Amino acid sequence: TTTTRAYNFNAGPSALPLEVLEKAQAELVNFQGTGMSVMELSHRSATFEEVHNTAIANLRKLFAVPDNYEVLFLQGGASLQFTMIPMNFLKEGQTANYVLTGSWSEKAFKEAKLFGEAVAPISTKDNKYKNIPTDVEVAATDAYVHITSNNTIYGTQWKQFPNTGNTPLIADMSSDIMSKPVDIEKFGLIYAGAQKNLGPSGVTVVIVRKDLLENANGNLPTILNYKTFADNNSLYNTPPTFGIYMLGEVLKWIEAQGGLAQVEKNNEAKAALIYDTIDNSNGFYYGHAEKDSRSLMNITFRVADEELEKKFLQEAKEAGFVGLNGHRSVGGCRASTYNAVPVEACQALADFMKQFQANNQ
């Protein structure tokens, strides 16, 4: 293809696979001979239902979701999940246990406190969120334990998920869902906004163990009750149809890559190109995260000399690299290397970093 594509390292919304965008473009005005865009179809039509059900089935297959879990498509982003989780699962007399590993887990914790008793016995804040804890503390009163599997802002990622026994483990996987195979059975609920690894913003994926829904709080607003979505195949009201279509196409693309085992290998190789550049720079660049907690999705780093860091970001921008500024709350640099970021973009960034160092040392 001759399309000009940016080196897109945005943290979210993020790069989408070129093949998916081109397919969507080709069928935009006449989807499968309907004479309509997929956006113009009734969500109750057989054509759309097929798109919807295929997306759910492919997500189940590729992510190996067991039969005793529901796969739901919601709206409201991961941020609404911060609210829905305590609303549905935190009961009087119970505690909600939040492991704090960054700004997003802090936000989830804040919402839980609005509904009941939420506690945070483990936090890596004193270490500037540079690491992932080695263990969690589970109390008998805990309704669930909540973790953020990948910390988008600080660039850390759980490598091994904690064992919480019979207490459901809930994970915000917004920034690393389907970047690698995961043992779903370790979790009571997994949620993610689609806009990093799975598609455009507007769809939120929730994977939840069915028995948790049976024991959830009742008497909730209909649209904030997981059961509403589970009982209606996520078609209770009008879903984000175009987003679901795009998510379905991204899933087909993941399958064409060779599935999640291959996607994980690609992501490891991509991240290594940039981490190796940082580690071999003799301190010209340094990483934010401790090495054993490093994220394969969000690579956070600094240029040791503050003035040179500004120059680096400016020159990178001029060279066509997009989204390398760190989150506004922490500064520095961040390269987000989600599934759809091609290895060529990571190689180009590694080369650029080496050349910048050679020019400025």
**237 labelled ligand-binding:** yes
Q: Which is nearer to ligand PLP, 58 or 197 (CB)?
A: 197
Nearest Cα to Cα of residue 208 among 87, 110, 72, 303:
72
- Min dist. Cβ of residue 173 to ligand PLP (A): 8
Options 130, 142, 158, 172, the catalytic residue: 172
Q: If binding is defined by CB under 6 A, does position 155 make contact with ligand PLP?
A: no
Q: Quick one: which segment of 23-31, 36-44, 71-79, 303-311 binds ligand PLP (CB under 6 A)? A: 71-79
Burial class (CB in 10 A: 0-12, 13-18, 19+), 289: buried
- Is 104 labeled as catalytic in the residue annotation? yes
- Is 265 labeled as catalytic in the residue annotation? no
Q: If binding is defined by CB under 6 A, does position 312 make contact with ligand PLP?
A: no
In the DSSP assignment, the letter for residue 7 is: E
- Min dist. Cβ of residue 155 to ligand PLP (A): 11
Which of 34, 47, 54, 79 forms a contact with ligand PLP (CB under 6 A)? 79
Options 158, 196, 253, 270, the catalytic residue: 196
User: Per-residue x/- marks for ligand PLP, 197-216, CB under 6 A?
Assistant: --------------------
Q: If binding is defined by CB under 6 A, does position 14 make contact with ligand PLP?
A: no
- Is 196 labeled as catalytic in the residue annotation? yes
Q: Which is nearer to ligand PLP, 77 or 243 (CB)?
A: 77
Which tokens belong to 299?
Answer: 């690579």
For residue 287, the cross-strand partners are 301
Q: Which is nearer to ligand PLP, 206 or 303 (CB)?
A: 206
Strands (E) across 179-262 are located at 189-193, 204-209
Q: What is the footprint of ligand PLP within residues 85-124 (CB under 6 A)? A: 104
From residue 250, alpha-carbon distances to 32, 73, 137, 216, 262 in Å are 18, 15, 37, 32, 15
What phi and psi values does residue 98 have, to the nearest 5 degrees? -110, 125
Q: Which is nearer to ligand PLP, 12 or 188 (CB)?
A: 12
Q: Are 333 and 352 within 8 A, CB to CB?
A: no
Distance of CA 128 to the CA centre of its chain: 21
Alpha-carbon span 288 to 239, nearest angstrom: 39
What phi and psi values does residue 339 have, to the nearest 5 degrees? -45, -45
Query: For the chain, how far is it from start to end, CA to CA, in angstroms?
Result: 38
User: Per-residue x/- marks for ligand PLP, 124-153, CB under 6 A?
Assistant: ------------------------x---x-
Q: If binding is defined by CB under 6 A, does position 193 make contact with ligand PLP?
A: yes
Alpha-carbon span 320 to 324, nearest angstrom: 11
Q: Which is nearer to ligand PLP, 195 or 357 (CB)?
A: 195
Catalytic residue ranges: 104, 172, 196
